[in-house]
Amino acid sequence: MTTRFESQRFTDFPTIVESIKGGRLDATFMIAPLAMKLREQNVPVRIVYLGHRDGSTVMVRKDLPAGSLRDLRGRTFAIPSKYSNQYLVIRKLMEDQGVRPDEIRFVELPPPDMPSALAAHAIDAYFVGEPHAAKAELDGSGRVLYHAKDIWPHFISCVLVVTEKLIRERPEIVRDLVRGIAESGEWAETHRLEAARVAAPYFRQDERVVRYVLTQPPDRVSYRMLTPTDEDLQQIHDMAIKTGILERPIKMSDLVDRQFIPQDIKAADIDANAR
Amino acid sequence: MFRSSLARWVAGTLLLIAVLGVLRFKPWRHFGGQGSGSVLARAQLSVGFLPVT
Protein backbone atom coordinates (compact mmCIF):
# COMPACT_ATOMS: atom_id res chain seq x y z
CA MET A 1 0.00 0.00 0.00
CA THR A 2 1.34 3.42 -0.92
CA THR A 3 -0.09 6.71 0.27
CA ARG A 4 -0.82 9.62 -1.99
CA PHE A 5 -0.51 12.95 -0.18
CA GLU A 6 -2.18 16.00 -1.63
CA SER A 7 -1.34 19.48 -0.45
CA GLN A 8 -4.36 21.66 0.19
CA ARG A 9 -3.45 25.32 0.08
CA PHE A 10 -5.20 27.77 2.41
CA THR A 11 -4.88 31.53 2.60
CA ASP A 12 -5.90 32.02 6.24
CA PHE A 13 -5.84 30.06 9.49
CA PRO A 14 -9.54 30.41 10.49
CA THR A 15 -10.51 28.38 7.40
CA ILE A 16 -8.03 25.68 8.39
CA VAL A 17 -9.58 25.54 11.86
CA GLU A 18 -13.10 25.24 10.45
CA SER A 19 -11.97 22.45 8.10
CA ILE A 20 -10.45 20.51 11.00
CA LYS A 21 -13.47 21.04 13.25
CA GLY A 22 -15.84 20.09 10.41
CA GLY A 23 -14.01 16.82 9.76
CA ARG A 24 -13.01 17.85 6.22
CA LEU A 25 -9.30 17.89 7.03
CA ASP A 26 -7.33 15.37 9.09
CA ALA A 27 -3.81 16.74 8.77
CA THR A 28 -2.46 20.25 8.43
CA PHE A 29 0.31 22.64 9.27
CA MET A 30 -0.79 25.44 11.58
CA ILE A 31 0.71 28.02 13.91
CA ALA A 32 1.70 26.43 17.22
CA PRO A 33 -0.41 28.50 19.67
CA LEU A 34 -3.48 27.92 17.48
CA ALA A 35 -2.96 24.15 17.81
CA MET A 36 -2.83 24.66 21.59
CA LYS A 37 -6.02 26.72 21.48
CA LEU A 38 -7.78 23.91 19.61
CA ARG A 39 -6.62 21.45 22.24
CA GLU A 40 -7.86 23.78 24.98
CA GLN A 41 -11.27 23.72 23.26
CA ASN A 42 -11.16 19.90 23.40
CA VAL A 43 -10.78 19.53 19.63
CA PRO A 44 -9.16 16.07 19.34
CA VAL A 45 -5.89 16.93 17.57
CA ARG A 46 -2.23 16.24 18.29
CA ILE A 47 1.02 17.89 17.30
CA VAL A 48 3.10 15.13 15.68
CA TYR A 49 6.01 17.03 14.10
CA LEU A 50 7.30 20.44 12.99
CA GLY A 51 7.51 21.76 9.44
CA HIS A 52 10.67 23.81 9.92
CA ARG A 53 12.53 25.95 12.44
CA ASP A 54 13.44 29.64 12.24
CA GLY A 55 12.35 31.08 8.87
CA SER A 56 10.35 34.03 10.23
CA THR A 57 11.48 37.64 9.96
CA VAL A 58 10.57 41.05 11.39
CA MET A 59 10.41 43.56 8.54
CA VAL A 60 10.19 47.33 8.79
CA ARG A 61 9.60 50.01 6.19
CA LYS A 62 12.86 50.88 4.54
CA ASP A 63 12.37 54.60 5.12
CA LEU A 64 11.96 54.21 8.90
CA PRO A 65 15.14 54.57 10.97
CA ALA A 66 13.96 51.94 13.49
CA GLY A 67 16.70 49.93 15.20
CA SER A 68 14.58 48.15 17.80
CA LEU A 69 10.97 47.73 18.89
CA ARG A 70 11.37 50.84 21.05
CA ASP A 71 11.48 52.83 17.81
CA LEU A 72 8.17 51.36 16.69
CA ARG A 73 6.15 52.96 19.50
CA GLY A 74 2.95 54.41 18.04
CA ARG A 75 3.41 52.43 14.83
CA THR A 76 1.23 49.78 13.17
CA PHE A 77 2.64 46.26 13.30
CA ALA A 78 1.08 43.35 11.35
CA ILE A 79 1.03 39.76 12.61
CA PRO A 80 -0.45 36.65 10.96
CA SER A 81 -2.75 36.04 13.92
CA LYS A 82 -2.84 36.72 17.64
CA TYR A 83 -2.61 32.91 17.92
CA SER A 84 0.79 32.96 16.20
CA ASN A 85 4.11 32.41 17.88
CA GLN A 86 5.29 35.54 16.05
CA TYR A 87 2.89 37.59 18.18
CA LEU A 88 3.97 35.90 21.40
CA VAL A 89 7.65 36.42 20.67
CA ILE A 90 7.13 40.08 19.79
CA ARG A 91 5.21 40.59 23.04
CA LYS A 92 8.11 38.99 24.92
CA LEU A 93 10.65 41.18 23.11
CA MET A 94 8.57 44.29 23.84
CA GLU A 95 8.62 43.38 27.52
CA ASP A 96 12.40 42.89 27.39
CA GLN A 97 12.82 46.30 25.75
CA GLY A 98 10.44 48.09 28.11
CA VAL A 99 7.71 48.70 25.53
CA ARG A 100 4.16 48.50 26.90
CA PRO A 101 1.58 46.31 25.01
CA ASP A 102 -0.54 49.36 24.14
CA GLU A 103 2.38 51.30 22.65
CA ILE A 104 2.38 49.33 19.39
CA ARG A 105 -0.83 48.86 17.40
CA PHE A 106 -1.14 45.26 16.22
CA VAL A 107 -3.26 44.28 13.23
CA GLU A 108 -3.88 40.79 11.88
CA LEU A 109 -3.21 40.38 8.16
CA PRO A 110 -3.05 37.32 5.90
CA PRO A 111 0.70 36.75 5.28
CA PRO A 112 0.50 37.13 1.48
CA ASP A 113 -0.94 40.67 1.93
CA MET A 114 1.84 41.92 4.20
CA PRO A 115 4.52 42.94 1.65
CA SER A 116 2.06 45.05 -0.37
CA ALA A 117 0.64 46.63 2.81
CA LEU A 118 4.17 47.63 3.84
CA ALA A 119 4.93 49.02 0.38
CA ALA A 120 1.70 51.08 0.54
CA HIS A 121 2.66 52.38 4.04
CA ALA A 122 -0.60 50.89 5.40
CA ILE A 123 1.58 49.21 8.04
CA ASP A 124 5.01 50.09 9.41
CA ALA A 125 6.35 46.64 10.26
CA TYR A 126 5.40 42.99 10.28
CA PHE A 127 6.55 39.62 11.57
CA VAL A 128 5.81 36.61 9.39
CA GLY A 129 7.07 33.32 8.02
CA GLU A 130 9.01 33.39 4.78
CA PRO A 131 8.80 34.00 1.84
CA HIS A 132 6.61 36.99 2.68
CA ALA A 133 9.44 38.85 4.38
CA ALA A 134 12.03 38.24 1.67
CA LYS A 135 9.55 39.54 -0.88
CA ALA A 136 9.55 43.02 0.70
CA GLU A 137 13.33 42.88 1.00
CA LEU A 138 13.72 42.05 -2.67
CA ASP A 139 11.22 44.62 -3.94
CA GLY A 140 12.98 47.29 -1.88
CA SER A 141 10.03 48.33 0.33
CA GLY A 142 11.32 46.75 3.54
CA ARG A 143 14.42 45.75 5.46
CA VAL A 144 15.12 43.13 8.09
CA LEU A 145 14.88 44.31 11.69
CA TYR A 146 15.26 40.86 13.26
CA HIS A 147 15.50 37.30 12.05
CA ALA A 148 13.51 34.97 14.32
CA LYS A 149 16.63 32.92 15.00
CA ASP A 150 18.27 36.01 16.54
CA ILE A 151 15.38 36.53 18.97
CA TRP A 152 14.64 32.91 19.77
CA PRO A 153 17.12 30.30 18.41
CA HIS A 154 15.33 27.36 16.75
CA PHE A 155 12.11 29.38 16.61
CA ILE A 156 8.92 27.39 15.95
CA SER A 157 6.20 28.84 13.77
CA CYS A 158 4.10 26.02 12.29
CA VAL A 159 3.52 22.54 13.63
CA LEU A 160 2.09 19.47 11.93
CA VAL A 161 -1.29 18.68 13.46
CA VAL A 162 -3.33 15.53 12.85
CA THR A 163 -6.65 14.43 14.23
CA GLU A 164 -6.79 11.69 16.86
CA LYS A 165 -9.24 9.91 14.55
CA LEU A 166 -6.54 9.63 11.88
CA ILE A 167 -4.00 8.42 14.45
CA ARG A 168 -6.46 5.81 15.72
CA GLU A 169 -7.71 4.60 12.35
CA ARG A 170 -4.74 5.09 9.98
CA PRO A 171 -1.52 5.29 12.02
CA GLU A 172 0.52 4.00 9.07
CA ILE A 173 -0.48 7.07 7.03
CA VAL A 174 0.63 9.42 9.81
CA ARG A 175 3.94 7.55 10.04
CA ASP A 176 4.37 7.84 6.27
CA LEU A 177 3.62 11.56 6.37
CA VAL A 178 6.03 12.33 9.21
CA ARG A 179 8.80 10.26 7.63
CA GLY A 180 8.23 12.02 4.29
CA ILE A 181 8.53 15.46 5.90
CA ALA A 182 11.66 14.44 7.80
CA GLU A 183 13.38 12.99 4.73
CA SER A 184 12.39 15.78 2.34
CA GLY A 185 13.57 18.32 4.94
CA GLU A 186 16.93 16.58 5.10
CA TRP A 187 17.11 16.71 1.29
CA ALA A 188 16.22 20.43 1.29
CA GLU A 189 19.06 21.15 3.71
CA THR A 190 21.61 19.85 1.22
CA HIS A 191 19.86 20.82 -2.04
CA ARG A 192 18.70 24.37 -1.37
CA LEU A 193 18.62 25.62 -4.95
CA GLU A 194 16.77 22.53 -6.15
CA ALA A 195 14.40 22.79 -3.16
CA ALA A 196 13.54 26.35 -4.22
CA ARG A 197 12.63 25.08 -7.68
CA VAL A 198 10.39 22.35 -6.23
CA ALA A 199 8.72 24.58 -3.62
CA ALA A 200 8.10 27.77 -5.64
CA PRO A 201 4.89 26.53 -7.37
CA TYR A 202 3.39 25.46 -4.02
CA PHE A 203 4.08 28.92 -2.57
CA ARG A 204 2.92 30.51 -5.83
CA GLN A 205 6.02 32.64 -5.68
CA ASP A 206 8.79 33.49 -8.07
CA GLU A 207 11.54 30.89 -7.72
CA ARG A 208 13.99 33.76 -7.18
CA VAL A 209 12.20 34.73 -3.95
CA VAL A 210 12.20 31.18 -2.57
CA ARG A 211 15.85 30.74 -3.58
CA TYR A 212 16.68 33.93 -1.68
CA VAL A 213 14.87 32.62 1.43
CA LEU A 214 16.78 29.34 1.34
CA THR A 215 20.20 30.88 0.81
CA GLN A 216 20.36 34.46 2.22
CA PRO A 217 21.63 33.55 4.73
CA PRO A 218 21.62 29.74 4.45
CA ASP A 219 20.45 29.36 8.05
CA ARG A 220 17.50 31.72 7.55
CA VAL A 221 15.27 28.63 7.70
CA SER A 222 16.12 25.15 8.95
CA TYR A 223 14.54 21.78 8.15
CA ARG A 224 16.37 19.84 10.84
CA MET A 225 15.58 19.27 14.53
CA LEU A 226 11.90 18.94 13.71
CA THR A 227 10.97 17.00 16.84
CA PRO A 228 8.83 19.26 19.05
CA THR A 229 10.24 18.97 22.55
CA ASP A 230 8.21 19.53 25.70
CA GLU A 231 10.56 22.42 26.52
CA ASP A 232 9.86 24.12 23.15
CA LEU A 233 6.12 23.81 23.48
CA GLN A 234 6.01 24.61 27.19
CA GLN A 235 7.74 27.92 26.47
CA ILE A 236 5.12 28.81 23.83
CA HIS A 237 2.36 27.59 26.14
CA ASP A 238 3.57 29.73 29.04
CA MET A 239 3.74 32.85 26.87
CA ALA A 240 0.25 32.08 25.53
CA ILE A 241 -1.09 31.87 29.09
CA LYS A 242 0.67 35.11 30.03
CA THR A 243 -0.78 37.06 27.09
CA GLY A 244 -4.26 35.58 27.59
CA ILE A 245 -4.26 33.58 24.33
CA LEU A 246 -4.84 30.43 26.39
CA GLU A 247 -7.32 30.60 29.25
CA ARG A 248 -6.20 27.49 31.10
CA PRO A 249 -3.08 25.31 31.19
CA ILE A 250 -2.93 22.22 29.01
CA LYS A 251 -0.76 19.18 29.61
CA MET A 252 2.00 18.52 27.10
CA SER A 253 1.07 14.82 27.18
CA ASP A 254 -2.39 15.75 25.83
CA LEU A 255 -0.89 17.91 23.11
CA VAL A 256 2.01 16.02 21.54
CA ASP A 257 2.38 12.55 20.05
CA ARG A 258 5.94 11.69 19.04
CA GLN A 259 5.44 7.99 18.23
CA PHE A 260 5.64 8.58 14.46
CA ILE A 261 9.02 10.35 14.37
CA PRO A 262 11.68 8.20 12.66
CA GLN A 263 14.90 7.41 14.51
CA ASP A 264 17.18 7.60 11.49
CA ILE A 265 16.53 10.28 8.90
CA LYS A 266 18.08 9.94 5.48
CA ALA A 267 17.61 12.43 2.68
CA ALA A 268 14.72 11.68 0.35
CA ASP A 269 15.50 10.78 -3.24
CA ILE A 270 13.89 13.76 -4.99
CA ASP A 271 14.27 14.62 -8.66
CA ALA A 272 13.93 18.41 -8.75
CA ASN A 273 13.41 18.33 -12.52
CA ALA A 274 10.44 15.95 -12.39
CA ARG A 275 7.01 17.49 -12.94
CA MET B 1 -33.54 -22.98 -16.68
CA PHE B 2 -35.70 -19.98 -15.60
CA ARG B 3 -38.89 -21.28 -17.07
CA SER B 4 -40.83 -18.90 -14.89
CA SER B 5 -40.74 -15.26 -16.00
CA LEU B 6 -40.76 -14.27 -12.32
CA ALA B 7 -37.54 -16.25 -11.75
CA ARG B 8 -35.94 -14.53 -14.76
CA TRP B 9 -36.97 -11.14 -13.39
CA VAL B 10 -35.54 -11.89 -9.95
CA ALA B 11 -32.28 -13.26 -11.40
CA GLY B 12 -31.96 -10.30 -13.74
CA THR B 13 -32.55 -7.80 -10.95
CA LEU B 14 -30.00 -9.50 -8.70
CA LEU B 15 -27.45 -9.53 -11.51
CA LEU B 16 -28.05 -5.83 -12.18
CA ILE B 17 -27.60 -5.00 -8.49
CA ALA B 18 -24.39 -7.04 -8.37
CA VAL B 19 -22.97 -5.25 -11.44
CA LEU B 20 -23.89 -1.83 -10.02
CA GLY B 21 -22.31 -2.81 -6.68
CA VAL B 22 -19.06 -3.80 -8.38
CA LEU B 23 -19.00 -0.56 -10.37
CA ARG B 24 -19.76 1.48 -7.24
CA PHE B 25 -17.10 0.00 -4.96
CA LYS B 26 -14.39 -0.54 -7.60
CA PRO B 27 -12.71 -3.54 -5.96
CA TRP B 28 -9.93 -3.49 -8.59
CA ARG B 29 -8.61 -0.33 -6.94
CA HIS B 30 -7.95 -2.29 -3.75
CA PHE B 31 -6.44 -5.35 -5.39
CA GLY B 32 -4.96 -3.86 -8.52
CA GLY B 33 -1.37 -4.28 -7.26
CA GLN B 34 -1.63 -8.00 -7.91
CA GLY B 35 -2.45 -7.41 -11.55
CA SER B 36 -1.40 -4.31 -13.40
CA GLY B 37 1.59 -2.48 -11.94
CA SER B 38 0.09 0.86 -12.92
CA VAL B 39 -2.97 0.47 -10.68
CA LEU B 40 -1.45 0.23 -7.20
CA ALA B 41 -3.69 0.33 -4.16
CA ARG B 42 -3.43 3.79 -2.64
CA ALA B 43 -4.57 5.60 0.43
CA GLN B 44 -5.02 9.33 0.02
CA LEU B 45 -4.64 12.15 2.51
CA SER B 46 -5.02 15.89 2.03
CA VAL B 47 -2.56 17.94 4.09
CA GLY B 48 -3.43 21.57 4.67
CA PHE B 49 -0.87 24.34 4.58
CA LEU B 50 -0.58 28.08 4.35
CA PRO B 51 2.18 29.20 1.98
CA VAL B 52 4.56 30.34 4.72
CA THR B 53 7.71 28.49 5.73
What ipTM was estimated for this complex?
A: 0.82
CA distance B30 to chain A (A): 9
With an 8 Å Cβ cutoff, is A6 touching chain B?
yes
CB A129 within 8 A of CB A202: no
CB count in 10 Å sphere of residue A221: 28
Q: Encode chain A (275 residues) as per-residue pLDDT tens digits.
A: 678 899 999 988 889 999 999 999 999 999 999 999 999 999 999 999 999 999 999 999 999 999 999 999 999 999 999 999 999 999 999 999 999 999 999 999 988 899 999 999 999 999 999 999 999 999 999 999 999 988 999 999 999 999 999 999 999 999 999 999 999 999 999 999 999 999 998 888 899 999 999 999 888 999 999 999 999 999 999 999 999 999 999 999 999 999 999 999 999 988 888 75
With an 8 Å Cβ cutoff, is B40 touching chain A?
yes
Contact flag A26-B45 (C-beta cutoff 8 Å)? yes
Looking at chain A, which residue has its C-alpha nearest residue B44? A4
For the full predicted model, state whether its pTM sits above 0.90: no
CB A227 within 8 A of CB A233: no
DSSP string, B1-53: ---SHHHHHHHHHHHHHHHHHHHHH-HHHHHGGGS-TTS--EEEEEEEE-S--
- Of residues B40, B43, B48, nearest to A16 (C-beta): B48
With an 8 Å Cβ cutoff, is B1 touching chain A?
no
Residues of A in contact with B52 (CB under 8 A): 80, 111, 128-132, 157-158
Contact flag B43-A13 (C-beta cutoff 8 Å)? no
